[in-house]
Amino acid sequence: MNRISHPPICDYEGSDYQKVFWDQGARDYEDQVEAIAIRRLLRQPGELLLEIGAGAGRNTLRYPNFRQIVLLDYSISQLEQAQNRLGQGVRFLYVAADAYHLPFVANLFDAATMIRTIHHLADPNLALHEVRRVLKAGAVFLLEYANKQNLKAIFRYLLGRQTWNPFDSTPIEFAELNFDFHPKAIRQWLHKSGFILKRQLTVSHFRLDFLKRAFPTKLLVALDSLAQYTGAWWQLSPSVFTLAQASGSAVQEPTKGFFACPRCQGDQFDHLPNSLLCLKCGEKWEIRQGIYIFR
């Protein structure tokens, strides 16, 4: 393992994140408002979608407009959980790799999503450039990030209960490999990576335990659903969903190939029974029970 160098990775290998955080974690409100934001933003249909940091596939069935979905995650065990949930049919392809070295040829995908994942990336710029590389010009990219300039952080800062400044555009690492980002920084990185920002929705405005205890989930979801549109003007919620488009002319040569070796970028492979052999550098990448492992 670790045949490729990359910034440190927040490894979810063996984690029961899906069960503890989502299934048993009283997060119906967050889950439902995220589903609304995805539905609103990801309207453009397409063939092939890349879900980066797919985890256990919580969101995968929320992309009905795409014929095939590639679930990519660094953690093999998260992908196994996704497989248990979604099955091994042709619509889903499971790939274990890191977001800094996407194992695909350039200009391949019609869309990509990255939800609750960039907040684990120590070098978000590098990953965003990679996302742009594998997208076709005109393709869409749905990105969710944790917003440091949220109302709770602002109040805490103004009351002197928090040292870091939520208005400052540098990322804040509040726990190891857990970052909150400023909307301005995200917009700049998207621009530098070759994306044009199209829409912003603010999400999870009412993510406070006392509100979730005091009011029915249905009501909070309905209010959040309305408040999401304010993201076009200001971003003060803990989570922000952006939709960006890959810049460039949409008229392109059809892409040849699919996988690219993350070590040497070669795109020719020998298909062995349980692995792909890179014909350029000779690296062998395992295929374990339907999961392509490029790490």
Ligand X SMILES: C[S@@+](CC[C@H](N)C(=O)[O-])C[C@H]1O[C@@H](n2cnc3c(N)ncnc32)[C@H](O)[C@@H]1O
Chain residues that interact with ligand X, rule: CB under 6 A: 9-10, 12, 17, 53-55, 58-59, 73-75, 78, 98-99, 115-117, 120-121
- Residue among 53 and 166 whose Cβ is closer to ligand X: 53
Give the pairing of strands 92-96 and 291-293: parallel
Q: How far is the CB of 64 from ligand X (least distance, A)?
A: 17
Q: In this complex, which beta carbon is closest to ligand X, that of residue 109 or of residue 157?
A: 109
Give whichever of 205 and 295 is closer to ligand X, judged by the CB atom.
295
Residue number with the smallest Cβ distance to ligand X: 55
DSSP secondary structure, the chain, as one string: ---S--S-----TT--HIIIIIITTT-HHHHHHHHHHHHHH--S-EEEEEEET-TTTTTGGG-TTEEEEEEEES-HHHHHHHHHHH-S-TTEEEEE--TTS--B-SS-EEEEEE-S-GGG-S-HHHHHHHHHHHEEEEEEEEEEEEBSS-HHHHHHHHTTS--S-TTS-S-EEEETTEEEB-HHHHHHHHHHTTEEEEEEEEE-TT--HHHHHHS-HHHHHHHHHHHGGGGGT---SSEEEEEEEE-S-S--PPP--SB--TTT----EEEETTEEEETTT--EEEEETTEEE--
- The nearer residue to ligand X, 102 or 108, going by C-beta atoms, is 102
Give whichever of 126 and 222 is closer to ligand X, judged by the CB atom. 126
Q: Least distance to ligand X from the beta carbon of 237, Å?
A: 16
The token pair at 204 is: 């999870």
Minimum CB separation from ligand X for residue 160, in Å?
Answer: 31
Nearest CB to ligand X, comparing residues 101 and 148: 101
Least distance CB 152 / ligand X (angstroms): 20
Least spacing, CB of residue 115 vs ligand X, in Å: 4
- At closest approach, how far in Å is the CB of 249 from ligand X? 29
Residue 57 C-beta: closest distance to ligand X, Å: 8
Only one residue has tokens 């949409």, namely 250
Contact between residue 248 and residue 138 where contact means Cβ atoms under 8 Å apart: yes
Q: Specify the residue, 94 or 157, whose C-beta has the smaller distance to ligand X.
A: 94
Whether the Cβ atoms of residue 101 and residue 262 lie closer than 8 Å to each other: yes
